[in-house]
Copies of this chain bind each other. A is one copy, B any other.
Amino acid sequence: MTTKTLPSQPRKASTVSRWDRETDVVVIGMGAAGASAAIGARTHGAEVLILEAASGAGGTTAMAGGLIYMGGGTPTQQACGFEDDTEEMYKYLMMASGPNADEAKVRLYADGSLEHYQWLIDHGMEFKPEYYASKSTNTPRDEGLIYSGNETCYPFDEHSKAAPRGHKGKVHGEGGGKMVIDKLSEKAIALGVEVEYDARALTAIINDDNEVVGIVSRIDGQERCIKANKGVVLCAGGFIMNPEMVAKYAPRLSLGNIPNGNPNDTGIGIRIGMGVGGSAINMSEGFICLPFYPPASLVEGIMVNGKGQRFINEDCYHGRMGEAILSNPEDKHYLIIDSKNFAALDRPPMGGFKVAEVGETIAELERDLGLTEDTLVNTLEVFNKHAKDGQDPLFHKRTPYLKPLDEPPYAAFDVSLNGGAYFPVFTLGGLNTLPTGEVLSEDDQIIKGLYAAGRNACGLPRCGATYSSGMSIGDATFFGKLAGKSAAQIEQ
């Protein structure tokens, strides 16, 4: 029995002998959500204090590539020659949020996307009006726009008109997340938001009506009681760095081998919320991916399981691929390529990619992989027959990645869960909130004084199989801003 999985029991205000500090709004965490919440609250008149467990701003966003999912015809989209439409973005996001989508949040997010783009610009972000056309997990240089999900892939392309909506700040390579943090935290501080670093939130303080009126934090090794006259906004990240909590709530995710988070993603915000009766939802869901591109040329390969069967359209987003592999965890999985793409043997995708076998013919490869005779051979024969004509009747892989694999020799990468390839993983469960950020109890009542955003809330992204890059930072900034505003505007 560990306390690391438990709701954090709140403290009664009546037992607080001394308030060490007092403000209007306390924000827990200074990642993308926390910085946005602080700005949202401050610009609506509140005094704001951020408590950040680390020694600087950042959270997991600072480690991320930094894509932000925006559309409906942003200036960047327009400058790159793409038409987009709020309704098409809404339709796509309803699929991308998955079967548990919160329609009200998706609606608000799609309708507010252009305004949010401008808000980010107003807060220092800049997006270079250049589109990166190749399939990749991020733009490699400082290009501002990329397809970041399944927009052009079956079955998504049949339900909404595709447009690239992954926006990255004007910075080289993977620095996009750091730029979001730098700009927003700079702005927050300029607006007069106070920040206490190395300040770990422990639990909520409640009054006799069960309303959240403050927070207990450990600062300089001492417990401090901080009064929040308007509310507490939980923005302390997901729980992928808390293995006990993952085992309890999302055991499947334990199979991922690269926890994708910062060390403070321990779920404390969620547990603080649960301690005062907040309902944690979607807790079993998560994101797991197999970043098998770039190089985009590998998308021309076929993915097969240990029975030599294809199981997915290989041009799908890498998170959809990861989820498909996770759903058949004990099987082997291989990415098969032909000699056209053997350059990748010398320069494979990042992340533990290993060549399992090379064969002069597909039959030889099949044998060397230990597959049953004629399984991979038959699979490739059927695939090639249709790929030649630009068809994939089985899984609907699309051009330009649909090409026959007809130039031997062949090679197989081992992309099994236990095959060495990296499977980054993070959680998608959190507190049930209204779009305003107000936290709800199990019986859908608002818990007064408590707000959540980012991965402390269950927001826009809710399903690994349908996720798109940019949905997390998009969600964190958009709903963080709103949560801060809600807290600031509450009548005391």
Binding site for B on A (CB under 8 A): 1, 3, 6-7, 9, 99-100, 251, 274, 284, 307, 309-310, 327, 372-375, 378, 381-382, 385-386, 393-395, 442-444
Quick check: B443 and A7 within 8 Å, CB to CB?
A: yes
Quick check: A251 and B374 within 8 Å, CB to CB?
A: no
Minimum CB–CB distance from A150 to chain B (whole Å) comes to: 15
A6-B442, A99-B251, A372-B393 known; 10 other A-B pairs, CB under 8 Å?
A1-B444, A3-B443, A284-B284, A307-B309, A307-B310, A307-B395, A372-B382, A375-B382, A375-B394, A378-B381
Provide a sorted-by-A list of 23 A–B residue pairs whose CB atoms are within 8 angstroms: A1-B444, A6-B442, A6-B443, A7-B442, A7-B443, A9-B443, A99-B251, A100-B251, A274-B442, A284-B284, A307-B310, A309-B309, A327-B327, A372-B386, A372-B394, A373-B382, A374-B381, A374-B382, A374-B385, A375-B382, A378-B378, A378-B381, A378-B382
Q: Complex formed: what's the CA distance from A309 to B378 in Å?
A: 11
Residue of B nearest to A252 (CB): B99
Copies of this protein in the assembly total: 2
Please give me the 9 A-B residue pairs with the lowest Cβ-Cβ distance, nearest first: A378-B378, A372-B393, A6-B443, A307-B394, A309-B309, A374-B382, A1-B444, A372-B394, A7-B442
Minimum CB–CB distance from A276 to chain B (whole Å) comes to: 13
Residues on the B chain within 8 Å of A443, using CB:
3, 6-7, 9
Residue of B nearest to A443 (CB): B6
Minimum CB–CB distance from A465 to chain B (whole Å) comes to: 12
Minimum CB–CB distance from A4 to chain B (whole Å) comes to: 11
Residue of B nearest to A251 (CB): B99
Minimum CB–CB distance from A176 to chain B (whole Å) comes to: 34
Q: Complex formed: what's the CA distance from A386 to B9 in Å?
A: 60
| Of the residues B1, B100, B374, B394, contact of A378 by C-beta under 8 Å | B374
Residue of B nearest to A375 (CB): B382
Residues on the B chain within 8 Å of A381, using CB:
374, 378
Q: Complex formed: what's the CA distance from A372 to B389 in Å?
A: 14
Residues on the B chain within 8 Å of A327, using CB:
327
Q: Complex formed: what's the CA distance from A394 to B372 in Å?
A: 7
Q: Complex formed: what's the CA distance from A385 to B3 in Å?
A: 56
Residue of B nearest to A391 (CB): B372
Q: Complex formed: what's the CA distance from A394 to B379 in Å?
A: 14
Residues on the B chain within 8 Å of A274, using CB:
442
Residue of B nearest to A3 (CB): B443
* Residue of A7, A274, A382 with highest tally of chain B CB at under 10 A: A382
